[in-house]
Amino acid sequence: MIVEQRTYDFFPGTLPKFFQLYEQTGARDLQQRILGNLLGYYVTELGPLNQTVHLWAYASLDDRAARRAALMQEEVWRDFLAQVTPLFQRQDSKILLPRGFSPAVELRG
């Protein structure tokens, strides 16, 4: 199993607009259905502000690639990205490998 940590830095004041679009366009439901294994979705309170951090679990890098490719095939997702990309200042993605003592995550489909 791998975990992807995706971090987005937003321009100040744009997070409410992002979350409004994420909900209203159906992008949230679509993303969760296709990627399938959301471990957490957070906003920062201290430290770097105007930031979201989300964690997604995958069986492997190939599983991640297939799921993300499937997401990009969806018109709803592409339209959503076109609306929210101008809100981003920076985007970062890290692949995390769990240690043996890390709590187990049960992956769905």
pLDDT tens digits for range 2-44 = 999 999 999 999 999 999 999 999 999 999 999 999 999 999 9
Residue 84 vs residues 11, 62, 95: alpha-carbon distances, Å? 11, 27, 23
**Is 53 within 8 Å of 5 (Cβ atoms)?**
yes
CA 75 to CA 53: how far, in whole Å? 24
**Is 73 within 8 Å of 31 (Cβ atoms)?**
no
pTM: 0.91
pLDDT tens digits for range 84-96 = 999 999 999 999 9
Q: Is the pLDDT of residue 59 over 90?
A: yes
Q: How confident is the model at residue 100 (pLDDT cuts 50, 70, 90)?
A: confident
CA 29 to CA 36: how far, in whole Å? 10
